[in-house]
Amino acid sequence: MTVHVVAPAPPTPASPALPLALPGLMTGALVLLVLGAPWVPGLVLPSSLVVATLWGLHVIDTRRLALPPLLVAAAAVPVAQALTLPTAVDPVRSAVLTVATALGWASAAAFASLTDRQRATVLIALIASLLVVCASSITGLGRLNSLAGGSVVDGRAQGPFAQPNELGAYVVFLLPVCVAAASCARRHTGWLLVGVSALPVLGALALSLSRGAWAGAAAAMAVLVLLLPRIAPAILIAVGAMTTLVLGLALLDATGPAGVVLARIGSLDDPSGSPDDHRPQIWGLALGAARERPFLGLGPGGLETWASRADSPLALEPPLHAHNLVLTVLCESGAVGLLALVAVVAVLARRLWSAATHHTSWLVAGPLAGLSGAAVHGIIDVPWRNPALTATAWLLAGAAAAHMDQPLRAQPERHPVNHPTSREREATRRSRHGFRPSGTRIDDPGDHGDGLGPADGPGARRGRRRRAWPQPALLALILTGGLLAGLQFLPSQHEATSVVGLRSETADGAATIAPDEIKLIAQQYSVALSDEAAVDRVSDELGLPPGSTTEASVDPETTTVRISVRSDTAQEAAQLANRLSKSADERAERDPQVVATTLSPASAEHTTVTPSRPLLFACGLSAILVLSAGLWLMRRQR
């Protein structure tokens, strides 16, 4: 018997597990980054370094570096910042910001290299972070206090961020991503869940009272509708509902947080009405720096150091940025940085056009809309020095850069036209005269011999689409009539304002009390002048009917008291406002340390009528049109 000895096969070399796990590790690191960045800003740079290292190892392992055009153009941003370092006014800070920009770009490149499922995981983590941040900002809201006609508001929602505008910028980035993800819901339950989840997001956006964020969010949603037309009815109905809500609050003369939001909306026509708004001086300072250093600028973050010079008008409170994206880049990176910005905007615009004319996934549409809204926000403010916002912007850029080769929208399939033969034409003629070919049924769609049903038969009637416009048009007419009737019975009031200034001096003009104390006295005067009992007593002295309301406020960092009175007539409002300012003078006469001076008396010819009927009619008509258009689109899609 022969025994065959089989030599054992050589062991198969084990494939390295680490390179295969690199995309998963990058996904996990990005999820930790987006969840922790708003709460621990110091986590951003180390996490970005980990992501960049993993991406570098992945590139080395695959020997493939395929960068989308958007990221190729965005690479010019850290390069331009690096070129400014030798001449930067603050080299250390500029170097740190340049490294942060480079790591942000690497994180975007790593994000773009992931699969669809992995990118969706990171974007869902961003949405979860947004919901938690917005919910915490609402629960931690302070007492809102509106000054200067809504131009200055204390106690705004800001969540874990350093200022309310940063919260607004965070919502602008991620609100379109949240809505785009909701567009994938196939059941009404999913839409209901998303709608409930959107309430804290919209509430945080409203209570941040960031006018730039409001404009950016509106632009982002408009771009999202362009990229995902199927969500247009839902967006139109939501906009109509919000406009109707604002209109109702205005008609009811709401107070509290709703009243502060309405006052903030009313200040949109005068964004520089705040006495603390130094945007014109900041813009002039940035342009002056750009003229002195036109090519390389001041270096990243150099505007604050430049504004701290002794001859600067903003030396006491130097700005962090130029409150405009273009001016910030121009003064910090010069013409080199401006060219990089133009390149990024051009490629982003091309990417938007490509997405609008192709099938677009929510993984791309949401980030593109968020970046577009941020660009609009950048015209007014640049609150992106926060590391969490910087990381979010770069990740959205990476998501928007992915999927560059999208297929065109499917073209309608063209069926070949079969011309009827002479026998089929004869059968058609006979059937029209009451004859029917043998072997066919009356309800056969091809009983006419041409392969088509009768043009005026029952089947054709069932195939016709019902008209979608009568019900929305009827609803619009009814609501417009109700709006006109409501405006006719809406009571209007006149608002008059007098201004009183307080100062402390003795006979020789020397100050007797500290400036902080006189500011405290001014606050006490505003409380006393707003007291309802005191206002009723003054109204009785003047013989005015009850019902007038008074609000006295102190301009920030001053001792100027503004007395605003609302009454049924302009004469009554001006008379009561002037009498209250006179009572402030009388109160100051009894105090030897305080002198009160009426700086601007109220005038019956210069009162403000509230609410404005034309404005309310325009808002109401806009809401009606939006609701009707949304209903029309929904009926068309059935």
Closest listed residue to residue 106, CA positions, set 451, 339, 332, 391? 391
C-alpha 446/C-alpha 424 separation (Å) is 10
**Between 455 and 74, the higher pLDDT residue:** 74
Write down the pLDDT at residue 447.
Answer: 44
Report helix, strand or coil for 409: coil
**pLDDT value at 117 more than 80:** yes
**Pairing verdict, β 493-503 and 560-567:** antiparallel
Write down the pLDDT at residue 124.
Answer: 92
User: How crowded is the C-beta side of 137, counted as CA atoms within 13 Å?
Assistant: 35
Write down the pLDDT at residue 551.
Answer: 80
Contacts of 100 (CB under 8 A, 6+ apart): 44, 45, 48, 387, 390
Would you place residue 3 in the very low, low, confident or very high pLDDT band (cuts 50, 70, 90)? Answer: very low
C-alpha 37/C-alpha 394 separation (Å) is 13
Write down the pLDDT at residue 374.
Answer: 94
Report helix, strand or coil for 560: strand
Please name the amino acid found at residue 603: S
**pLDDT value at 12 more than 50:** no
Q: Is-contact 173 374, C-beta < 8 A?
A: yes
Q: Is-contact 630 243, C-beta < 8 A?
A: no
Would you place residue 70 in the very low, low, confident or very high pLDDT band (cuts 50, 70, 90)? Answer: very high
**pLDDT value at 509 more than 60:** no
Helix axes 17-36, 91-112, angle to 10 degrees: 120
- What sign results for the dihedral spanned by CA atoms 380, 386, 389, 391? positive
Write down the pLDDT at residue 510.
Answer: 52
Residue 492's H or E segment, with its range, is none
Tokens 């950048």 belong to residue: 378
| Percent composition of the chain: helix, strand, coil (DSSP 3-state, to 5) | 60, 5, 30
Write down the pLDDT at residue 444.
Answer: 46
Would you place residue 425 in the very low, low, confident or very high pLDDT band (cuts 50, 70, 90)? Answer: low
Range in 34-43, 140-149, 308-317 with the lowest mean pLDDT: 140-149
The structure tokens listed for 526 are 């505003």
DSSP 85: G
Would you place residue 421 in the very low, low, confident or very high pLDDT band (cuts 50, 70, 90)? Answer: low
Tokens 């004869």 belong to residue: 426
**Between 435 and 201, the higher pLDDT residue:** 201
Look over the chain and give the mean of its residue pLDDT values, rounded to a whole number.
Answer: 79
Write down the pLDDT at residue 44.
Answer: 92
**pLDDT value at 557 more than 80:** no
Highest mean pLDDT among 86-90, 264-268, 394-398: 394-398
Would you place residue 14 in the very low, low, confident or very high pLDDT band (cuts 50, 70, 90)? Answer: very low
Phi (first) and psi of residue 67, to 5 degrees: -100, 130
Between CA 533 and CA 541, with CA 537 as vertex, the angle to 5 degrees is: 170
The length of the chain is 638
**Between 172 and 628, the higher pLDDT residue:** 172
**pLDDT value at 457 more than 80:** no
Q: Is-contact 283 290, C-beta < 8 A?
A: no
Report helix, strand or coil for 12: coil
**pLDDT value at 410 more than 70:** no
**Between 203 and 186, the higher pLDDT residue:** 203
Highest mean pLDDT among 57-61, 313-317, 466-470, 514-518: 57-61
Residue 469's H or E segment, with its range, is none
Residue 393's H or E segment, with its range, is helix 387-401
The structure tokens listed for 371 are 């970046």
Highest mean pLDDT among 188-202, 216-230, 537-551: 216-230
- Taking the C-alpha atoms of 578, 580, 584 and 589 in order, what is their torsion angle to the nearest 10 degrees? 80
Other Cβ atoms less than 10 A from the Cβ of 185: the count is 13
User: pTM of the entire structure?
Assistant: 0.68
Write down the pLDDT at residue 358.
Answer: 82
Q: Which residues of 37-63 are buried (b: 16+ CB within 10 A; e: fewer)?
A: bbeebebbbebbebbbbbbeebbeeee
Please name the amino acid found at residue 351: R
C-alpha 458/C-alpha 445 separation (Å) is 11
Summarize pLDDT for 159-179 with one digit per residue, the tens.
899 889 999 999 999 999 999
The structure tokens listed for 4 are 């065959």
Write down the pLDDT at residue 252.
Answer: 64
**pLDDT value at 53 more than 50:** yes
C-alpha 105/C-alpha 77 separation (Å) is 9
Q: DSSP assignment of 357-385, as one string?
A: TB---HHHHHHHHHHHHHHHHTTT-----
- Burial class of residue 385 in the structure, from the number of CB atoms within 10 Å of its CB (0-12 exposed, 13-18 middle, 19+ buried): middle
Which percentage of the chain shows pLDDT scores above 70? 75
Write down the pLDDT at residue 141.
Answer: 74
Q: Mean pLDDT, to the nearest integer, of 487-501?
A: 76
- Burial class of residue 256 in the structure, from the number of CB atoms within 10 Å of its CB (0-12 exposed, 13-18 middle, 19+ buried): exposed
Highest mean pLDDT among 103-112, 182-191, 278-287, 521-530: 103-112
**Between 252 and 552, the higher pLDDT residue:** 552
Write down the pLDDT at residue 637.
Answer: 63
Report helix, strand or coil for 563: strand
Would you place residue 84 in the very low, low, confident or very high pLDDT band (cuts 50, 70, 90)? Answer: very high
Contacts of 482 (CB under 8 A, 6+ apart): none
Q: Mean pLDDT, to the nearest integer, of 258-282?
A: 69
**pLDDT value at 458 more than 70:** no
C-alpha 133/C-alpha 159 separation (Å) is 6
Alpha-carbon radius of gyration of the chain: 33
Tokens 């130029």 belong to residue: 322
Would you place residue 503 in the very low, low, confident or very high pLDDT band (cuts 50, 70, 90)? Answer: confident
Query: Domain 493-610 class?
Result: alpha beta
CA 384, distance to chain mean position in Å, is 14
Long-range contacts of 279-286, Cβ-Cβ distance < 8 Å, separation of 24 or more: 279/323, 281/313, 281/314, 282/307, 282/314, 282/319, 282/322, 282/323, 283/322, 283/323, 283/324, 283/327, 285/312, 285/313, 285/314, 285/319, 285/322, 286/322, 286/324, 286/327, 286/328, 286/330, 286/331
**pLDDT value at 302 more than 50:** yes
- Burial class of residue 614 in the structure, from the number of CB atoms within 10 Å of its CB (0-12 exposed, 13-18 middle, 19+ buried): exposed
**Between 512 and 549, the higher pLDDT residue:** 549
**pLDDT value at 282 more than 60:** yes
Which runs of E-coded beta strand occur in 83-180?
145-147, 152-154
Range in 205-214, 254-263, 361-370, 536-545 with the lowest mean pLDDT: 254-263
Write down the pLDDT at residue 254.
Answer: 61
The structure tokens listed for 58 are 């992945």
C-alpha 147/C-alpha 149 separation (Å) is 6
Would you place residue 278 in the very low, low, confident or very high pLDDT band (cuts 50, 70, 90)? Answer: confident
Q: Mean pLDDT, to the nearest integer, of 494-515?
A: 71
C-alpha 443/C-alpha 436 separation (Å) is 11
Q: Mean pLDDT, to the nearest integer, of 410-416?
A: 47
Highest mean pLDDT among 327-331, 451-455, 573-577, 626-630: 327-331
Would you place residue 631 in the very low, low, confident or very high pLDDT band (cuts 50, 70, 90)? Answer: confident
Q: Mean pLDDT, to the nearest integer, of 525-548?
A: 80
Write down the pLDDT at residue 543.
Answer: 80
Which percentage of the chain shows pLDDT scores above 90? 29
Summarize pLDDT for 341-368 with one digit per residue, the tens.
999 999 999 999 888 888 888 999 999 9
**pLDDT value at 108 more than 80:** yes
